[in-house]
Structure 1
Amino acid sequence: MESNNFELIIKRGCGIDVHEKKVVVTIRGDGIGVETRTFLTFTEDLGELLSWLKSKEVTHGAMESTGVYWKPVYNILSESLNLILVNARH
């Protein structure tokens, strides 16, 4: 099987899957490998998520959500991260 190599543009990023009661986040990047954690959606828990991302020096994220559950997550994380909201259908 042939492998493609792409130029690394974002050094440390994350994927965020937002549910009604939890947020599942996977980080990946230079020097941090791959790690996945789950957080509740209360403000205090989202603050812990933000602290974790900052401690890992994550700068960018792609967030997927159905409904309006993404809004509080986006409001808290977008102050420190470059976030994009994506539609799972796309």
Structure 2
Amino acid sequence: MSQATPEQLEAAIRELLGARSVEATICPSEAARQVGGDDWRDLMQPARDVVARLADAGEVEATQGGEVVDARTARGPIRVRTSRAAR
């Protein structure tokens, strides 16, 4: 199991979003892979938890099919983008 912290996942999410166009999205698995290496799958729920916290703070939006969803309750894959308010 990876010893990655929520802070490391948050930093990875910010870095990945910052490296892309403002309209682009990332998958939480990208941050999990960056931080967790071979153990990235163990970090999927923690990554979604970080996305939910960042969404609560108005920094990002979790989406499915282009629609904003709650990362805590969404079932299935989500994407993450910089929130429209934070652009």
Q: Same fold (TM over 0.5)?
A: no
- TM score, norm. by length of structure 1: 0.32
Q: Structure 1 or 2: larger helix share? A: 2
Return the index of the structure with the highest Cα Rg: 1
Taking structure 2 as the reference length, the TM-score comes to 0.32
